[in-house]
Structure 1
């Protein structure tokens, strides 16, 4: 299911002998749900970071060191596949880079859940939305993400669903589910800061007991349906550190862990982050 991220497209634009800009786009053949990395290296160091826009949305750009900058562009199963144009400004003349976003077939699943599968509280939705909107300048993660649980994958990213016989329009499974026994450990897949702890008794009736981690630079994770929570908001966690345990709280089919990964507010496929990761 993973997408190899090793392939890199190197595009060099020369607008003048003194102004050369290298652009690296990875992966070169993205498909729906992938995160697209755009790495820029101007030939002349500047004080202002370039800007990167896709489909009319400007995405944050962060320095990587060595006069390089990087933007992460999320795609989702409900995006329109086909030719996309990534616009880069602030490096001399505007650059337009064409990328083909490949279509992808997602399974359809019919499940029955307690609680109807759709109800939630305004409180929990507002807390989760706040998590997705965080764009910290720090980058906490390093390399590939780890598995947050050791059980088998019971539901893949992007699955379309019928909940209790009703098709969920414009919905896709925003993460990966891991089956596991009640109380099996859940660990942080990467370093970050705990910014969300939600409990059923506080109004997390859909998500159940939940933990949200800010990995930095617009990348965050959420872990839901937990039976217990072992961290507090504000804690810094490291890869492999226990943050809770698998459970069936909230709207769940049984004991499982749902791991969702957000990039600039959109739910992306966690598998490429787990298989190869991003610099």
Structure 2
């Protein structure tokens, strides 16, 4: 517990935020260079110029706290109100959840999850987090982030990304600069051909169900560069791109970063 006397209210010029905290949202901010920062007690990386990024999980609570320690030792607190969202919930009272996974699925799944976690643990010097994100592909949005089904009263996993339906072979572009941290050598059981790009500061994108991947781990990619193509590999009912994003452990909504899709 930090003594109240050790804290002062955050002046906008000292601890500034660009954007509004909300469930599934990411926003940038700035502090004086050399400041250390914590969000609810967890360290937040601060760039040399004082810029930083924070984000909130789909199920984030209503309040959070930023704590900045300035180079002179002064500590500044910034209480945050995290806006709730109304998720699309579909109730299926007579339909049970899918059966338990097979032994073969569990055997394959463990090393796949290990690859994904190892990729997300990588830290790169990518600067894409500073950019305004663009849509990797444009088309009909067929699945919204955060939507969820309730099977006979039992909640299923919520949808962790945005789905865009387009034909197989449609090019997929990098939504921001980054470094490739995973390019599946073979289709994963659920994700199919999986590509992951780190945008820096703990922010990464995952592209699922691709028909092909055009880059390899370690490649630096630029915003707008074609990195693969839409497919229906893995567990998919038809060709589409599933674009998921995480900031450390927080799952966030790509639509909030890329903005509404315009024709």
Which TM-score band (shorter chain)? Answer: 0.7 to 0.9
Aligned to 2:37: 52
Task: Give CA deviations for 1:27-59 in whole Å, capped at 9, x if unaligned.
Answer: 2x42211113231026xxxxxx32221222112
SS in 1 for 2:80: strand
Scaled by the length of structure 1, what TM-score is found? 0.76
Query: Within 5 A, what are the aligned runs for 1:50-89?
Result: 50-64=35-49, 69-81=50-62, 83-89=63-69
Change (3 A) 1:62 1:258: same
Task: Give CA deviations for 1:52-76 in whole Å, capped at 9, x if unaligned.
Answer: 2122211211123xxxx12212201
Q: Any conservation in 1 of the 2:126–2:198 contact (CA below 8 Å)?
A: no
Aligned to 2:120: 132
1:179 to 150, 165, 179: 165
Aligned to 1:206: 190
Unpaired runs of at least 5, structure 1: 1-9, 14-20, 43-48
SS in 1 for 2:14: strand
How many angstroms does 1:131 deviate by?
2.4
Task: Give CA deviations for 1:187-234 in whole Å, capped at 9, x if unaligned.
Answer: 111121212111445xx1111101111222222111011111122222
Aligned to 1:99: 80
Aligned to 1:6: none
Change (3 A) 1:52 1:116: farther
2:216 to 218, 232, 244: 232
Number of corresponding residues: 242
Aligned to 1:271: 255
Q: Any conservation in 1 of the 2:60–2:82 contact (CA below 8 Å)?
A: no
Q: Any conservation in 1 of the 2:126–2:179 contact (CA below 8 Å)?
A: no
Scaled by the length of structure 2, what TM-score is found? 0.81
How far apart are the structure 2 equivalents of 1:262 and 1:11? 27
How many angstroms does 1:97 deviate by?
0.7
How many angstroms does 1:159 deviate by?
1.4
1:25 aligns with 2:17: yes
Q: Any conservation in 2 of the 1:219–1:262 contact (CA below 8 Å)?
A: yes
Aligned to 2:6: none
Change (3 A) 1:36 1:187: closer
Q: CA-atom RMSD, angstroms?
A: 2.9
How far apart are the structure 1 equivalents of 2:38 and 2:75? 11
Higher strand share: 1
1:145 to 122, 129, 133: 133
Query: After TM superposition, what 4+ stretches of structure 1 lie above 3 angstroms from structure 2?
Result: 109-112, 115-120, 161-166
Task: Give CA deviations for 1:11-37 in whole Å, capped at 9, x if unaligned.
Answer: 528xxxxxxx7110222x422111132
